[in-house]
Every structure is written in structure tokens, then in C-alpha cells.
Structure 1
């Protein structure tokens, strides 16, 4: 399950195929990635991965259409909705625990919204200065013209800062979606999660194992989908097909600290308490668009998690890409956010393609990593939930 991304799902297939070629060369593996096929209902894109004789059926669960309906939003909607959202969050007491538990991620989100505020003020200032230069324009017409011109300037500024290095429109709209989903103001994702739950549940008994992977915003949406499966079928995962959940670039506390996110907090608590679902949290301290400092249950103010719920591993950026590339990419926040979905230069380090398509089952890897306290230098670091 991808994050808040309006791109066509075949984009992810292309990324996977490209990185599979790199993994094959770096690890001396024979990897074949089949062509993507959309499901009849359009909710999924499937492809087959063959790695050294082992076959993985990879399904990307789509919600890019829901993202595209919200990003990019019209500037008029942002001007109305952003102040209302932050007024609600500040009044609810959300801001202090968010800054404490999310730290760098909170600085990014708050910083982007301050940039947005600066762009609004700048647009008004430039418009007012420009109108002052127009001879004979004053009074009512001046008051009327300034906001109209400022709106046009703001539209240009938002377009200019939509991509790297600021991603203002993307992160402002992503924040709005997250908290609208938390509060129930936007219900479109609920029906989609029901459909995802049916797809996941339907794989039981037909596969040797089921692995649900949630990247970025799907770290909490994946939990909600699995929770729907457990509610419909409490014996899911206990009939011989191992089930695992893997969160990558997690932002779970971003939503669960919202007082209105009762459904998401409930899903987090129930999935974390289920011994039928193994959970691996892949973390990266160099990823500023993820929340990686603490166990997501503790950070969400939920009761102390069971031991190794989730099993957490930290991946070093030096294991994935060369230092010269790190220097060039480190301020491209979205590129770094996707790095854990890519091939690693170190053949012994965490590699996404080898992880999901390798011969060793993911549930067995999670069990093995659960008992690891530290890997040798140049590898990932595993930790207990209390760290």
C-alpha cells in the first residue's frame, strides 16, 4: 500500500522493476519482474516476481484516485481549510505531543505550513505594492483588486514550490487528508479499506504467506485494513497461512495523536495485540518524512506494547547509497523517503526487493530479527520496543 501519492500505480511497478535489476546485479541473483495487470475492479495492480526459482505475487492496492481528488487542492480551499484545521488541532492540545513524539517530522510539517503562511502574506504584500504603482486606483477598487491579484500570485508561488525542495502543496494537502481521515470529515477511504480488507482476506489459503506492506501514510492505513480483516474474521492468520505487517517510513503518531482519531488508535491497538499478525517496523533516522524515534504505541499514548510489537530495525543510509549520492539527495525529502523501497548497494544490508521476493519467508525473517540486538557495522540495527 503506497502513501499519499497521486501517480498511476504503474509508476511503482516501474520503480520495482528498475530496482530489481540493480539488486540482481549487486547480489548475483536472477530476478524477473512480470508485466503489471490491473484487476477487473481497478482497485489493484498485480505483477509476478521470480527470484532464483522463488515466486512472489505482488499486489499494489490503489488509492491514487482518492489522492488525486485532494491533491493539488484549489488555493481557495486551502485558504479556508488550513486555518480551520490548525485552529482545531491547537485547541485540542495536539501540537505539544506531536512535537515531542515526532520531533523532526513535526518540524518538517510545521515548517512547511509556516512557509505556506509566508507565501500567503508575501502574495498580499506584492499585490498591494503593485496596486500602489497603478495611477488613479484607490478606494473601493483598490480594496477589491488587491486580494484578486494576491490570489493569482499565490497560485504561481504554490506551483513553484510544489516540488523539491519544499513540497509545500503536497505536504499541506497530505496533512489535511490525514486529519480529515482521522476526524471522519473525509470518508472516501473507508470503503476503499473495506475493499482492501476483502482482498487481503481472500489471499488466505491461496498463498504460502501474506505480507501487507504500508509505506508512509499507509503505515496507518495498512493497520486499519488489517483491523477490518480481524473484525470480520477473528481467526484470520491462525489457519496455517502466516500473516505479517511491514510498516516502512511510518507516520503512525501523526494521525493517532489527533484526539479525533479514535478508529485509527483502536486499529493500532487491536493489530498490535494480535499474536496472529507479526509486525516489522523498518525505520530510518535520515528520513525526515517519517516518525521513527519511538514505538508507535507508546508515541500514540496507548498502553505499553508487548515485547517486540513491533520488531524494529533501523537501516543506515550508507548501506543503501554511496556518500557522494547522499550529499546530493539529502535535501530531496521525498526521494529520501522512497529510498527504503529501493535496492541497497551493500549486498548484506536491507534490500526491499530481496526482502519481499527472496526465498526466506518474511514471517521467518521477522522472527529471526526479533532476537537480534545488533548487526555488525555496515548492516541494519535491530532494537527492542523500549529503545
Structure 2
């Protein structure tokens, strides 16, 4: 695909979040705060304007970067309602998810193959399992201790009735502590992460009808933008949103909805966890879309991760490791955001153990930026293709095809 020489003055950006139940205003505020910080560091001007009305939640950006004035319109492609519905389970239901998800990943052998790529995200996947089991054990022990204490106190007073009362109190302590853990999950993230991994495992990698319908809506929105008078349409997929973006864009290109003389089309995948889904037995659709998009000349696809992000499959080529790379594979360009180099030692020290915050660092300011700057990409004067023309893959890119399941759907 030829790299357009024309500078960008108008851009449409579509952001696909990961598995996140939060209102999309969170992303607007993150963009507002972090773009201002990056502008101060890098010496450019960028202003965010709240949007009134419209079919989708979003905001508008006016920027003066690299000597050019650029207007960008950012839309959030929302699926948080689907996420919330999938999280609407009881405590017992969540422990049922734990058993089913563990069986899917361990029984199929996917867990061991994923560990051959990166141990970090696999350990992140094991975290909610261990945390929930730990919570269950603590609640059980608290209930047992309560039973023995109450029995010892009441037996001299109530004789045979003491045991019955102690059982009820012990059970109440057990249930109450489990409920407390769930109520405090904003600190533990055990339930949240369990629901996340269980969502894909429930269908063994296939998309639910509700998600397919929403992805079709995403595609319609992007197709509309591709017919607009703009210079670039940029799709950004973060975390689980990356594999949604793969399928949405593959569908658009197959359907002939990407005009050859239209705006440049770019796809930026950030902190992707594609193998967590593509390594599952029924992910035929996703694997087929990966193979198709990886060989397409209708777009530019750049994949950015970082080894410091323990929640992402850092530097893993999502097409190659899924075992579906064709001989003419051209995408994605895989490189590292290199947190240990693009963040100062002080900043890295403050963030390195904040795993969930680091997973969002790709959309945040870097105090020692190199060639990756989220705000130059989304609001700067170069297309994604032009910005990274001639850039090579990171030397540590992983392409080992270790996936057991390589069947594809079309």
C-alpha cells in the first residue's frame, strides 16, 4: 500500500475499549488530562472540547503539532453494557465461572501454550483464580472459628441448642465475609478479572450474538466515516478491544466498504491480549480475521505493547503466534513502547507495581517519549502509515506459532 504524502488536517478516531464496565467519560477525562501533560512535555498545543449530542459518546480535539493545525473527532465504540450484563452474576455464579474457565484453559492445553509466549498475562489470568480461592478459604476459616467460639461460649448455657446456634452464626460469618470481599472488589479486582476471562471462555472463543450485533454497529460507524471528507480514519483497540477491532475491520474490508480513494485507514492495537481468545477451540472467526487482516493492503496496522505491561502479550505478533500467518503476511508492525526507557526512573518506580494503571499507559503521557506518542498519532499531522513508514519490528518480537487450534472461519 502506498504511503500517502498529504498531511492530515482532519481525522476521525474510533476507540474500542477493553472489557470495561465503566462509563466512556472515563476515557475522555484520561485523554484530557494526559494529552495536556504530554503537550507540556513535548512542546505542542492540544485542546479537548466536549461534544454535545451525536449518535455516539465522544469528544473533539484541536491540536497544533509539528507545525500543523489538526482537528480530530474521537468516538468511543461502547460495549460496556454487554460487559456489565456479563458481570451480573452471584457469588456462587462467579465460583462456577472459575471452575468452567479453569477447565477450558487447562483442559484444552491453551494455558500451557500461552505460558510459552508470555508468563505475565497468564499469571494475571491465574490471579483471580487464586484470589477467589483464597477468599473462599478465609471465609471458611472465619466461619469455623466462629462456630467453635460460639459453641464454647453457649454450651454451658444452652446445652444442645448451642451447636445449632453456632452453625447459623458460623454460616452467617462465612457468607458475610464473601459478600464483603465482593463489595470491596474495587481494591482486589478478583471478580472483575474472573468475569473478563470467563467471558471468552464461556463460548471457547466464539463471539456471543449480542457482541456480533454490536460489532456490526461499530463497522457501520467506521464505514460512514470512511465516506466522510477526512484525511484519515484511525481505529484504536485497547486490550480486549484489539481483537474486536480485528474482526470489525476484516468485515469492513471483505464487504468492500473501504474505498480505495478514500481516507487512509489505520488500526492501532494497544496492550493486546489476542492470544487469550485466539488460542481457544471455537475462535474460528477471530483466527480467520487475523489471517485476513494480516495480509490486507487496505490499511496500516501497528501493534504496540511493552514488556513492562504484565497484562498484555508483549511483542507477540497476534497473527503469527495464533498459527494463521500467511506467506504474504504484512501486518501488524510490532514494536515496544519500552516503558523502562520512555518513562523516567522516578516515574517507572512509581508505576511498575501498579499493573492495571500500566495497562493504560499507552494512552498516557511519557516523560521521556521516543517514537510512540498516542496524542501525536491521534491528533498529529501524519497518518499512521506515514508516521511509521520504514520502521522495523522490535528485535524481541515473538512469532512462534504455538497455538494448538488453527482452524479459521471466513
For the Cα contact (< 8 Å) 1:123–1:154, is it kept in 2?
Answer: yes
| Number of equivalent positions | 372
- Gaps in structure 2 of 5+ consecutive residues: 1-15, 152-159, 401-410
For the Cα contact (< 8 Å) 2:321–2:399, is it kept in 1?
Answer: no
Q: Aligned ranges for residues 36-75 of structure 1 at < 5 Å?
A: 36-40=51-55, 44-52=56-64, 53-71=69-87, 73-75=89-91
How far does residue 250 in structure 1 lie from its aligned partner after superposition? Answer: 0.6
- The reply on whether 1:21 has 2:43 as its aligned counterpart is no
How far does residue 283 in structure 1 lie from its aligned partner after superposition? Answer: 1.3
2:49 corresponding residue in structure 1: 34
Which of 118, 129, 150 is the matching residue for 2:134? 118
Which of 203, 210, 234 is the matching residue for 2:256? 234
How far does residue 161 in structure 1 lie from its aligned partner after superposition? Answer: 4.6
For the Cα contact (< 8 Å) 2:182–2:191, is it kept in 1?
Answer: yes
Could you list the per-position Cα deviations for residues 321-357 of structure 1 after superposition, in whole angstroms to 9, with x for gaps in the alignment? 3322322221111111111101221254421112211
Alpha-carbon distance in 1 for matches of 2:322, 2:164: 51
Which of 158, 163, 181 is the matching residue for 2:182? 158
For the Cα contact (< 8 Å) 1:119–1:154, is it kept in 2?
Answer: yes
For the Cα contact (< 8 Å) 2:237–2:269, is it kept in 1?
Answer: yes
RMSD value over aligned CA atoms?
A: 2.5
- The reply on whether 1:316 has 2:332 as its aligned counterpart is no
Could you list the per-position Cα deviations for residues 27-63 of structure 1 after superposition, in whole angstroms to 9, with x for gaps in the alignment? 22121211134533xxx22222111111112111111
Alpha-carbon distance in 1 for matches of 2:342, 2:49: 25
How far does residue 259 in structure 1 lie from its aligned partner after superposition? Answer: 0.7
How far does residue 138 in structure 1 lie from its aligned partner after superposition? Answer: 7.0
For the Cα contact (< 8 Å) 2:306–2:315, is it kept in 1?
Answer: no
Q: Structure with the greater relative contact order (CA < 8 A, sep ≥ 6): 1 or 2?
A: 2
How far does residue 384 in structure 1 lie from its aligned partner after superposition? Answer: 6.5
How far does residue 235 in structure 1 lie from its aligned partner after superposition? Answer: 5.4
How far does residue 96 in structure 1 lie from its aligned partner after superposition? Answer: 1.6
- Give the direction of change, closer, same or farther, for the CA distance of 1:116–1:30 in structure 2 (3 Å limit): same
Could you list the per-position Cα deviations for residues 61-85 of structure 1 after superposition, in whole angstroms to 9, with x for gaps in the alignment? 1112222223364212102222122
Alpha-carbon distance in 2 for matches of 1:95, 1:289: 15
Alpha-carbon distance in 2 for matches of 1:350, 1:69: 35
Alpha-carbon distance in 2 for matches of 1:138, 1:96: 50
TM-score (norm 1): 0.87
2:186 match: secondary structure: coil
How far does residue 175 in structure 1 lie from its aligned partner after superposition? Answer: 0.7
For the Cα contact (< 8 Å) 2:304–2:315, is it kept in 1?
Answer: no
1:134 corresponding residue in structure 2: 150
How far does residue 184 in structure 1 lie from its aligned partner after superposition? Answer: 4.5
Could you list the per-position Cα deviations for residues 251-303 of structure 1 after superposition, in whole angstroms to 9, with x for gaps in the alignment? 00011001122222222222212221211001111000101142112221223
- Gaps in structure 1 of 5+ consecutive residues: 374-380
For the Cα contact (< 8 Å) 1:2–1:218, is it kept in 2?
Answer: yes
2:366 corresponding residue in structure 1: 344
Alpha-carbon distance in 1 for matches of 2:335, 2:182: 37
TM-score (norm 2): 0.83
How far does residue 10 in structure 1 lie from its aligned partner after superposition? Answer: 1.2
For the Cα contact (< 8 Å) 1:112–1:168, is it kept in 2?
Answer: yes
Compare CA radii of gyration and give the structure with the larger one: 2
Which of 235, 241, 247 is the matching residue for 1:212? 235
For the Cα contact (< 8 Å) 2:115–2:122, is it kept in 1?
Answer: yes
Q: Aligned ranges for residues 292-303 of structure 1 at < 5 Å?
A: 292-303=314-325
